[in-house]
Amino acid sequence: MQGTTEEARAAAYTPTDRTVPTRSADRASYDKELVHAILDEGYVCHLGFVRDGAPVVLPTLYGRVGERLYVHGSTGARALRMTGEADPGLPVCVTVTHVDGLVLARSAFHHSINYRSVVVHGTARQVTDPQEKRAALDALVDHVVPGRAADSRPANKKELAATAVIRLDLDEVSAKVRTGGANDDPEDLALPHWAGVLPLRGGYAAPLPNADLAPGIELPDYLKAL
């Protein structure tokens, strides 16, 4: 029995007051595998923090290593300055959202989007251990393009000093997912409006080599694969 309980504990985050949504609770999930998959598919999060009592939401790059999220930025950036090691840390909310499709219903009211999102609540702290900082920066680059960290010049001492990295433990976490078609009321089904889903195409257009790219450098395979 204990084995089962521990397995269940490991497989899901524990819901809290603020990770249980007040609506569409059926779309919420605490499954770690799902949360990790949503996080690993993205690279831009929206980082929220409180400054002078008011909310601030900024888009920024992130990476995941195990049960930790990392966000980086200039040491001069406002949010990162607010997370000095001596401080008790900065309460943050990090949200990652993938839009998968537009849901067109016959009724304006039932229009929606198909999406997968993860919301992480917690306290952000500056990463000071050099090894953890390097691993976090590799994760950030590999989130943008898997395999890229190994194919670029690693940060030197000056760059590391100019970069602040903050970490956020994945502890108070929830995912929310909507899939499927339009859910119109039965009395609307015969209305003469098209209903269905417009899936987002995603993916990348042809790569644009830098104007100053040295001759003879071919597009690497990990980019061709995208």
Chain residues 11-50 in contact with its own copies, contact rule CB under 8 A = 18, 22-23, 43-44, 46-50
> Which residues from 69-98 bind its own copies, rule CB under 8 A?
73-74, 76-78, 81, 91-95, 97
Residues β-bridged to residue 211: none
- At closest approach, how far in Å is the CB of 203 from its own copies? 5
Rounded Cα distance, 125 and 164, in Å: 10
Q: Which is nearer to its own copies, 128 or 180 (CB)?
A: 180
Nearest to 50 by CA among 88, 96, 93, 97: 93
Q: Which is nearer to its own copies, 66 or 203 (CB)?
A: 203
Q: Which is nearer to its own copies, 85 or 212 (CB)?
A: 212
61 touching its own copies, by CB under 8 A: yes
Residue 59 near residue 53 (C-beta atoms within 8 A): no
- At closest approach, how far in Å is the CB of 12 from its own copies? 21
Kindly write down the DSSP assignment for every residue of 18-66, as one continuous string. Answer: TTS-SS-GGGEE-BHHHHHHHHHH--EEEEEEEETTEEEEEEEEEEEET
Nearest to 122 by CA among 92, 101, 151, 145: 92
- At closest approach, how far in Å is the CB of 6 from its own copies? 30
The footprint of its own copies on this chain (CB under 8 A) covers a number of residues equal to 98
> Which residues from 179-208 bind its own copies, rule CB under 8 A?
181-182, 184, 188-208
